[in-house]
Amino acid sequence: MLALVTGASKGIGRAIALELAKNGFNVAINYNRSSESAEKLRDEIKTLGVNTEIFQADVSNYEQVTSLMKSVKDSMKESISVLVNNAGITRDTLLMRMKPEDWQAVLNTNLNAAFYCTREVIRDMAKARYGRIINIASVVGLTGNAGQANYAASKAGIIGLTKSVAREYAERGITVNAIAPGFIETDMTEVLKPEVKEGILQSIPVHKIGSPEDVAKAVAFFASEASAYITGQVLAVDGGMTMC
Ligand code: NAP
């Protein structure tokens, strides 16, 4: 079975691609700018004995998504059974300073891309009467966060998308679930000041920052047969940070 992971060149997406490969999935690796990291990941996944290739595309661009899906199908000779909408960016600042372009960029990459990719895979999944769509949201999509109006709105949007598509396609054997990571150690969180990191750490009951692998394991569960009776759910992978 073939899984496509968007934004898989780094961080959480990279860990998801590896974990799915370890679980026997063939993996289409999407990246945008980090071609070297994507190539390294492809070489690592190849050693696991599954089929894998890298595909450059900016998933916030609909035309690029349509050609991405065609390239994946043509070169991997298989249709996509598992879609992981992971690609994401931040442009954090307080609302008054947030420029419309900061808003648009984040919504385009974090939300519109998930819609584009889902729209392009759903027909094949419906035909196959099987599919797994896993959307990477965030706990801030549930709680909101000062300085992240654009990001939190995009992640709340992805939760609405998850539940709506889950309802539309439940009868076709397609499950759609979201994962809401808390604070995970990647390039995205590396930019935070040490005192901000410390403050966040204090709000995590397990007193640990999460790893990309913590998220990847939850994705593997939603990608598997074991989660067949679960759809439209949001699973927080956050060390107990939100509990809502
Ligand atoms: P990261 O280390 O910054 O990696 C982001 C990935 O997204 C990169 O592989 C990047 O690819 C890709 N990407 C960005 N824009 C893209 C585009 N337009 N088209 C295709 N790929 C694109 O971030 P991360 O922490 O792993 O985050 C992954 C996901 O988890 C995001 O959706 C994020 O919102 C979510 N999340 C993260 C945390 C956290 O604490 N880290 C918490 C909650 C949710 P290139 O480098 O190739 O451009």
**pLDDT, mean of residues 154-176:** 99
**pLDDT, mean of residues 5-11:** 98
C-alpha of residue 127 to centroid of ligand 1, in Å:
30
pLDDT for the residue 244: 78
Chain-centre distance of CA 217, in angstroms? 13
**pLDDT, mean of residues 62-77:** 98
Q: Is the C-beta atom of 141 inside 6 A of ligand 1?
A: no
Nearest to 189 by CA among 8, 5, 11, 16: 11
pTM of the model: 0.98
pLDDT for the residue 234: 98
Percent of the chain with pLDDT over 70: 100
**pLDDT, mean of residues 70-98:** 98
Assess whether pLDDT exceeds 90 at residue 86.
yes
pLDDT, one tens digit per residue, over 183-230 is 999 999 999 999 999 999 999 999 999 999 999 999 999 999 999 999
Residue type, 107: L
Percent of the chain with pLDDT over 90: 98
pLDDT for the residue 37: 98
For 84, 181, 190, 231, 242, the CA distances from 63, given in Å and listed in that order, are 19, 29, 32, 29, 37
Assess whether pLDDT exceeds 90 at residue 75.
yes
Q: Is the C-beta atom of 90 inside 6 A of ligand 1?
A: no
Average pLDDT, the chain: 98
**pLDDT, mean of residues 230-243:** 97
DSSP E strands, the chain: 2-5, 26-31, 52-56, 80-85, 131-136, 174-181, 234-237
pLDDT for the residue 124: 98
Assess whether pLDDT exceeds 90 at residue 2.
yes
Q: Is the C-beta atom of 12 inside 6 A of ligand 1?
A: yes
C-alpha of residue 90 to centroid of ligand 1, in Å:
9
- Give the 3-state DSSP-derived string for 3-51, with helices as H, strands as E and coil as C: EEECCCCCHHHHHHHHHHHHCCCEEEEEECCCHHHHHHHHHHHHCCCCC
C-alpha of residue 7 to centroid of ligand 1, in Å:
6
Q: How far apart are CA 35 and CA 67, in angstroms?
A: 18
